[in-house]
Amino acid sequence: SQTIHQWPATLVQPVGSPLSLECTVEGTSNPNLYWYRQAAGRGLQLLFYSVGIGQISSEVPQNLSASRPQDRQFILSSKKLLLSDSGFYLCAWSARSRGGETQYFGPGTRLLVL
């Protein structure tokens, strides 16, 4: 069966520090991968998605970037964190299908920028 991991689970970082959040998927190959941010009362906002190694699409302009160095690894980064980057970050994967794709989510990383 497929599983998705995210780490760390919780992170407290000072403003201006760098960030690296990691997401890995097991039990599947060539998944589509997604990064979302969840803010209180605002649902989930899609930040990045990837259909393959090195292929990243950005959905909103922001202080963050994403990379996919391996097929089942997706990394969310920042060079300098802002207070507004605080939130709950969720990674998701889907199997490519013509008949409809379902996204499955990881446990999330709670980021607090102070």
Partner 1 sequence: AQSVTQPDIHITVSEGASLELRCNYSYGATPYLFWYVQSPGQGLQLLLKYFSGDTLVQGIKGFEAEFKRSQSSFNLRKPSVHWSDAAEYFCAVGFQKLVFGTGTRLLVSP
On the CB side of 71, CA atoms within 13 Å amount to: 7
Binding site for partner 1 (CB under 8 A): 6, 32, 41-46, 49, 59, 90, 92, 94, 99-108, 110
Least distance between partner 1 and beta carbon 28 (Å)? 15
| Integer Cα distance of 58 and 83 in angstroms | 21
Least distance between partner 1 and beta carbon 14 (Å)? 23
Least distance between partner 1 and beta carbon 53 (Å)? 17
